[in-house]
C-alpha cells in the first residue's frame, strides 16, 4: 500500500525552516535540523526538497506572498513605503534572506514590484513602466534605511527622527517624479532590471 501523503508536510517543513533561520541563520538550517524541527524524518524532507537551496527559495517565495498581502490594502505610495519598512525592521532575518539575491538567481519574476508599479499607475496615471524610476529610487531609499538599521551601521538606529525623515523623503520623491523620469534623458535606462530587481519591494 502506498504511503499516504501528509498535506501539511510542506507547510510544517517551511515553518520549521523559518524558525531555524530566524533563530540561527544559515548555519542552523541543515536538512536534518529541518526534519527534526518539523517532526518528520530527513528522507521525507528530501522527497519534497531535493536540496537546502530549494527550501530557502520556498521561504523567500513565502515572504514575498506575505508582503503582497500587506501591500494589498495600501492606498498610497507612502503607505506602501511604510509597510515595506515595517516588514523589514520587524522581521530582519527574513528580510536578509529575501535580499540575499537567491530569488534573482532562480527566476526573473517580480510580482510585488509589478503590483506596486500597477498601483502607482492607478493612483497617479500613466503606465506602470513610466513609474519605474520612482519605484526603483524608493526601493533604494527604503532598502538602505532598513539595512542600516538591521546591521546597526547607523548612529541613529531606532531614532524617532529616522521614520519622519524617510516619510518626508518619500513625499518629496513622489512630488518630483517628473524630474526622475527626465533627469537622464533616457527613460529606457532607468527601468528596473528584471533579474536584479529586489524580490519583494
Q: What range does the domain containing 105 cover?
A: 61-190
Per-position pLDDT tens, the chain of length 201:
455 557 689 999 999 999 999 998 888 999 999 999 999 999 999 999 999 989 999 999 899 999 999 999 999 999 999 999 999 999 999 999 988 877 667 667 788 999 999 999 999 999 999 999 999 999 999 999 898 888 877 655 555 556 788 889 999 999 999 888 765 554 444 454 443 444 444
Are residues 38 and 82 both part of a single domain?
no
Tracing cell 525623515 back to the chain, one arrives at 165
Is 123 within 8 Å of 81 (Cβ atoms)?
no
Residue 181, pLDDT score: 75
Same domain, 90 and 12: no
Res 14: pLDDT: 95
For residue 72, the SS3 value is coil
For residues 119 and 134, is the Cβ–Cβ distance under 8 A?
A: no
The reply to whether 170 falls in a domain is yes
Residue 98 C-alpha cell reads as 529575501
Shared-domain flag, residues 75 and 167: yes
Q: How many domains is the chain built from?
A: 2
Instruction: State the CB neighbour count (10 A cutoff) for residue 42.
Output: 14
Distance CA 199, CA 33 (A): 27
What is the reported pLDDT for 171? 93
Distance between CA atoms of residues 22 and 131, nearest Å: 34
Considering the domain architecture, whether residues 44 and 79 belong to the same structural domain is answered as no
* Of residues 93, 85, 74, 192, the one with CA closest to residue 134: 192
Distances (CA, A) of 162 to 76, 155, 165, 182: 20, 11, 5, 29
Question: Same domain for 92 and 166?
Answer: yes
Looking at the fold, whether 110 and 32 belong to one and the same domain comes out as no
33 & 126 share domain: no
Residues 98 and 79 in one domain: yes
What's the CA gap between 93 and 97, in Å, rounded? 6
Give residue 151's pLDDT.
85
Cα–Cα distance measured from residue 56 to residue 103, given in angstroms and rounded to the nearest whole number: 9
**How much of the chain is in helix, strand and coil states, percent to nearest 5?**
70, 0, 30
pLDDT reported for residue 196: 42
Amino acid at each position: 500500500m502506498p504511503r499516504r501523503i501528509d498535506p501539511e508536510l510542506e507547510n510544517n517543513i517551511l515553518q520549521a525552516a523559518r524558525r531555524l533561520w530566524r533563530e540561527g541563520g544559515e548555519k542552523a538550517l541543515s536538512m536534518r535540523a529541518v526534519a527534526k524541527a518539523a517532526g518528520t524524518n530527513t528522507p521525507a524532507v528530501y522527497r519534497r526538497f531535493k536540496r537546502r537551496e530549494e527550501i530557502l527559495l520556498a521561504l523567500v517565495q513565502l515572504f514575498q506572498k506575505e508582503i503582497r498581502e500587506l501591500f494589498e490594502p495600501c492606498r498610497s505610495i507612502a503607505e506602501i513605503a511604510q509597510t515595506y519598512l515595517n516588514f523589514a525592521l520587524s522581521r530582519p532575518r527574513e528580510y536578509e534572506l529575501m535580499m540575499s539575491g537567491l530569488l534573482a538567481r532562480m527566476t526573473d519574476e517580480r510580482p510585488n514590484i509589478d503590483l506596486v508599479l500597477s498601483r502607482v499607475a492607478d493612483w497617479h496615471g500613466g503606465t506602470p513602466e513610466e513609474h519605474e524610476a520612482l519605484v526603483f529610487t524608493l526601493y533604494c531609499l527604503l532598502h538602505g534605511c532598513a539595512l542600516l538599521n538591521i546591521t546597526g551601521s547607523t548612529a541613529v538606529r531606532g531614532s524617532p527622527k529616522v521614520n519622519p525623515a524617510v516619510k518626508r523623503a518619500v513625499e518629496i520623491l513622489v512630488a518630483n517624479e517628473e524630474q526622475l523620469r527626465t533627469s537622464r534623458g533616457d527613460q529606457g535606462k532607468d527601468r528596473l532590471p528584471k533579474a536584479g530587481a529586489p524580490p519583494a519591494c
